[in-house]
Amino acid sequence: MQWNSKVRRAAAVGSSLLAAVVLAACSTNSAPTGSASADAGAGKPEGSIYCGEKCQAQLQLAAAPSSISCSVGVSWNSASHPYGAKHTQQIPKYAAQFFPGMKVTVADAQGDGGKQSGQVDDMIAQKINVLVVSPADAAGLSDAVQRAEAAGIKVIAADRNVETEVSTYIGSDNVEAGKVAGQALVKALNNQGTVVELAGSLGASPTIDRGKGFREALASSGVKIIATQTANYDHAQGLKVMEDFLQRFGKGQINAVFAHNDQMSFGAIQAIEEAGRADEIKVFGIDGESGALKDIQAGTYTATVGYPAVVQETVLAAAKLCAGESIDKRIVLDSTLIDKSNVDRYLSNPPQ
């Protein structure tokens, strides 16, 4: 409190220097540290196993991979969740593996639509050839995308679409994923029984779409949703909400759980096991993380619906656009139901 201004200034300079050094040390050492891609290592570039026949045909590259030479900017909504982290790390890796002439720069919008718009403008100024966006805010990014297109840049919307016309949208359908999960659940319960729903973050579009598809599948069935509650796509919250559901509904009153993602399923499974009710409640989810596939193999998790990463597909589409080839407006990956009967096929190559 009683420091003279010199000391205080020196301390301020010192601390900001320290901060700068720490930051520099962090940023110089930014080689991607993600686990080695299970997808990589194949001989030639192609879509993943979740890219069906039509999808593979749509991404067929006529040009030779070595002839691709261009600059690609990737602007992802956030790298702070596993799906975003995977794409921001693996897209440059996969591109470097098959297209040495493709230069990829990545920007993380940290969930902020305004920041993302600025990042896209930076990329336009750097005169990139192809822009890959996965918007934090579908409507908010439209202007920036239009500015990019006006500057002659081809735009790919990956996983999440923007509300303006782009060269192509590549993704998996959340409504379809919810529907596939719902149909599997109805079948597993022999068309009658009760289900509790662990919803994702309220108001988020995947939450709305997965819930919608699930309800479509249940509409004409004898399965009833007896409770729905958000657990924000979070493992710990999934556990907590499920604990409360198990208190609310006594033995035999819940036949199944539908969680909007695997993380919440993990929490639900733990709560069910701790309550000793694993034999009466089946658990369904969406995403297809490797941990989920292991649980399915072990028999603790009933089924999940793959919501596949679009790493390879995005790079292929970028290569096609670089080569000046035409591309379909919409490329959709499969919503694959993975249960005990087929899990062995996907274990080595999970959707996420």
Binding site for another protein (CB under 8 A): 1, 3, 8, 11-12, 15, 26, 32-35, 79-82, 84-86, 89, 199, 202, 227-230, 234-236, 239-241, 243-245, 247-248, 250, 263, 266-267, 270, 274, 291
Shortest Å, Cβ 70 to another protein: 27
Shortest Å, Cβ 323 to another protein: 31
Shortest Å, Cβ 219 to another protein: 20
252/245 Cα distance (integer angstroms): 12
Shortest Å, Cβ 276 to another protein: 11
Shortest Å, Cβ 12 to another protein: 7
3-state secondary structure the chain: CCCCHHHHHHHHHHHHHHHHHHHHHHHHCCCCCCCCCCCCCCCCCCCCCCCCHHHHHHCCCCCCHHHCCEEEEEEECCCCCHHHHHHHHHHHHHHHHHCCCEEEEEEECCCCHHHHHHHHHHHHHCCCCEEEEECCCCCCCHHHHHHHHHCCCEEEEECCCCCCCCCEEEEECHHHHHHHHHHHHHHHCCCEEEEEEEECCCCCHHHHHHHHHHHHHHHCCEEEEEEEEECCCCHHHHHHHHHHHHHHCCCCCCCEEEECCHHHHHHHHHHHHHCCCCCCCEEEEEECCHHHHHHHHHCCCCEEEECCCCHHHHHHHHHHHHCCCCCCCEEEECCCEEECCCHHHHCCCCCC
Shortest Å, Cβ 100 to another protein: 24
Q: Which is nearer to another protein, 85 or 323 (CB)?
A: 85
Q: Which is nearer to another protein, 98 or 266 (CB)?
A: 266
Shortest Å, Cβ 158 to another protein: 17
74/156 Cα distance (integer angstroms): 9
Q: Which is nearer to another protein, 141 or 239 (CB)?
A: 239
Q: Which is nearer to another protein, 76 or 99 (CB)?
A: 76
Q: Which is nearer to another protein, 31 or 125 (CB)?
A: 31
Shortest Å, Cβ 236 to another protein: 6
Phi/psi region, residue 154 (left: phi>0; alpha: psi -120 to 50; beta: rest), is beta
Q: Considering only CA atoms, which of 296, 229, 230 is closest in space to residue 269?
A: 296
Q: How far is CA 326 from CA 59, 154, 168, 292, in A?
A: 10, 11, 10, 37
Other beta carbons less than 10 A from residue 338's beta carbon: 23
Q: Which is nearer to another protein, 43 or 250 (CB)?
A: 250
Q: Which is nearer to another protein, 151 or 275 (CB)?
A: 275
Q: Which is nearer to another protein, 71 or 201 (CB)?
A: 201
Shortest Å, Cβ 161 to another protein: 23
Q: Which is nearer to another protein, 168 or 232 (CB)?
A: 232
